[in-house]
Chain A
Amino acid sequence: MKKLLSILLILMVSSTVAVFAVGQYEEGVGKRTVVFDSRLWTPPHEQEYVINEVLVPFGRENNCIVSFSIIDDDTLLKRAKLQKETNNVTTDLVIAYCARFNDWVKGGYIEDLTSYVRSWTDRSFAPGINSMAVINGRQYFIPIASDVYLLCANKKALKYLPAGADVQDLTWEEFADWAVAMARGEGEGKVAVTGVPEKALIYQVGGIALSYGAGFPDVSSSGAVKAWEIMVKMRNAFTPTVMTYDSLVAPMKRGEAWLTWAHVANVGEIYGSNPAQYVIAPVPGGPAGKGSIAGTQGFAIPKGSPNKDLAVKLIEYITRPGMMLKIAKGAGGWIPPVSEAVAMLGDTTQDEVIKKAIDVMDHGKLSFIPPAYTGGGNWGKIKHVYDDIANKFLESGRVDTGYLRTMQNKIEGYK
């Protein structure tokens, strides 16, 4: 007993001393610390890249330390609310997703950055992307990475491609035929969508609907009905475990799924894991063009940030065209929202992903997540509507337009 108590006592005393020593050391460094919380660059190698190639050099230039953390959107908002309520704001900079921009502005958590953006004359933000970051005529967010949807196919799937079809310029009908042929040939479905509720199915079906002239979020117009018909046509072409997918990266890498259309960051991750094994292309199209939901992530500075000057400097530093391109290539293959950065693209694997995404961005039929629907967690409920419709139709094998009208009314109720 004495031995155990002694060990515990020694551990306790030494850890107490160490905790205070670490605290004293960190205070003793004497540099200002910029607290930067982000929901972007979540994969570890992206974090490593951003920290070593971007934040550390910035810290050296400005004699400060950038404390970078990955935090999801809900926790970011929760933390902002707490810091505001306790009047103890410690976060200097955040990166949030466009679906939550309204919550940040409505909560009164962030600064208006309009005057800063106007003073940066060497860069221009793509107008479509930037429109999401401007709320009530004020630039509360500064876009840092944008996204669209791309097609990704394992090369094993190419043998089932319908005759005459070009994988780089498919229609959704050809895509569905391809999926069905693959399921027949392999004896099981090989197409992946996110089957777990409230994930990306809304964007996948929404993109098809846009190709047929629908709006977003729109489940009942004639274009949307066509999208559901295509989904129903592929009902036996999805992988047997599709309902367990919350991300498309793992099933594609494992070879369980051979064909999908997914978020550019996911496609970048799949393609980057073994480029020789995959083909990437713009998403298929329809009569209205190549439909895709586009989104963006944006910088914001919390009101009362203790290091606002450094936070502004850091945004300015990261959104320089050269730096934007460097980050886009080194971390994930996101689309840089600065036009001057896009002009500098080369021909590496990452450039290829970004170029395909820009092709969709420039020539596709795009829709952004409409801010009117995103307040108070309503976006999750709208995602659920799409999930419910997909479950019902894929199970029954038929599209019920009456049900779609009811569900559209439900969506409008979330405005």
Chain B
Amino acid sequence: MNRSVKRGAIRAARMTTLYIMVIGVAMIILFPIFFLVSLSLMSGYESYYEWPNPLIPAFSAKYKLEKSDEGYHLSIYNKAEKRYERFGPEKFGTTAEDLEKISVFVKRQGNSTLKTERLKEEISRLVDRDEVFFSLSKNLLANYKVFFQVTRDAVPSVIRSIYTALTTIAISLIIGGMAGYAFARYIFKGRNLLKLSVLFVRMFPGVAIAIPMVIILGRIGLYDQPLGLSLIYSVTQISLTIWITASIFMAIPVELEEAALIFGTTKFGAFWHVTIPLALPGLAACAMYSFIGSWNEVIQAVVLTQFNPTFPVVVYKVLVGAGAQVNLITAGSIAQAFPAVLFTLLIRKYILRMWGGVRV
């Protein structure tokens, strides 16, 4: 009895430790993403003046309006300091220009709408008292709105990015997949050396080859074209595709293709109907790497495009000067990451199958 209780306790301790570790690892992975999303929903005031930052963005903000001999003063409730702090100009009057200035300030720094009429109304309440309190709801998506307002070419650039990414996938899968099959199925002199040498192109920093590439693309009429970018991206993606697909094809027994041939199909038929479906998880992984690599690439694209930038270039150009607007940067980052996440979710089934091994 004692022994079984002891065994049960040990098992429970082990399971508890395991779950704590799993939850810990999940937190390490998920928390930065959660914080990124949370920060993208905060106002400029929340993200800098409420320090340390709150974990959850506020849905509204509390304001205090005061009257003094010098004029009117606006304060905002600082949740970190747990008190009201002056917000905006030190003092302001009731001229249309002053009220408009406060309205713009609250919109820009507080992500709330304070119309001049509302401000006038609050000021009128100060007739018989020194201070009034009011709250304003916060526009949670204000940073995204600003980001897309400033990013003028967002929609065309997203289309260009999708086109570039899909063309990169197509080129790298067709060429890399065929090369990977050849490496897996045929034995020839210098095979290993050749296989190793395809990784050579990945050793050069992208920016180093960008300048010669501009000259080459310019000569063949593909400078500043999404197709030109796809060709450049494919160069590095093909080598990775070869390595992944070669391993996948090696794991698929050649006997399966031979069996298909015996049943009367052609060599291409065996490849198409037997090998490809089994290699699909690996191909999906290659597609995912190509998509993410192409979607996020910015260093080469900045140099290789001018009138037809991809989405990351547009995001980069907008955010390059937003160093002290971390809330806007996070909104731009999430807007850029979203399609890559969507694509990965779309092909998750195949990726998960690869992680589980190729099942024959």
Interface of A toward B, CB cutoff 8 Å? 1, 4, 7-8, 11-12, 15-16, 18-19, 22-23, 26, 33, 35, 41-48, 51, 67, 69-72, 75, 78-79, 82, 85-86, 88, 90-91, 246-247, 249-250, 253-256, 269, 273-277, 348-349
Contacts and interface: CB of A to CB of B under 8 A. Distances in A.
Contacts of B152: 51
B165 to A, nearest CB: 9
Contact of B149 (A23, A48, A88): A48
Contact of A8 (B73, B85, B166): B166
B300 to A, nearest CB: 12
17 contacts: A1-B276, A8-B166, A8-B169, A12-B166, A35-B306, A42-B321, A43-B325, A51-B152, A67-B307, A70-B317, A85-B215, A247-B324, A249-B323, A249-B324, A256-B51, A274-B49, A274-B87
Interface string B294-334: 00000000110011100000000111111111101000000
B321 A47 contact: yes
B163 A15 contact: yes
Q: Which 7 A-B pairs have the closest CB atoms?
A: A42-B321, A276-B86, A249-B324, A15-B163, A253-B48, A12-B166, A18-B159
A352 B288 CA distance: 53
A354 B345 CA distance: 51
Nearest to A90: B306
Interface string B275-286: 011001000100
B150 A75 contact: no
Interface residues of B, number: 59
A246 B324 CA distance: 11
B322 A43 contact: yes
A44 B88 contact: no
A47 B150 contact: yes
B226 interface: yes
Contacts of B24: none
Contacts of A42: 320-322
A410 B218 CA distance: 42
Given A33-B307, A35-B307, A256-B51, A275 B90 contact: yes
B150 A277 contact: no
B225 to A, nearest CB: 9
B156 A22 contact: yes
Contact of B159 (A19, A45, A71, A276): A19
Nearest to B322: A44
A15 B48 contact: no
A21 to B, nearest CB: 9
A4 B350 contact: yes
Interface string B136-171: 000000000011011010001001101100110110
Contacts of A26: 156, 307
A11 B161 CA distance: 12
Contacts of A4: 284, 346-347, 350
A351 to B, nearest CB: 12
Contacts of A78: 211, 303
B86 A277 contact: yes
B321 A43 contact: yes
Given A44-B150, A274-B45, 6 more contacts: A4-B347, A7-B346, A12-B166, A15-B166, A16-B163, A250-B323
Among A51, A72, A246, A254: residue with most chain B CB under 10 A: A254
A67 B152 CA distance: 10
B325 to A, nearest CB: 7
B108 interface: yes
Counting chain B CB atoms within 10 Å of each CB, the highest count among A7, A71, A82 belongs to A82
B183 interface: no
Nearest to B317: A70
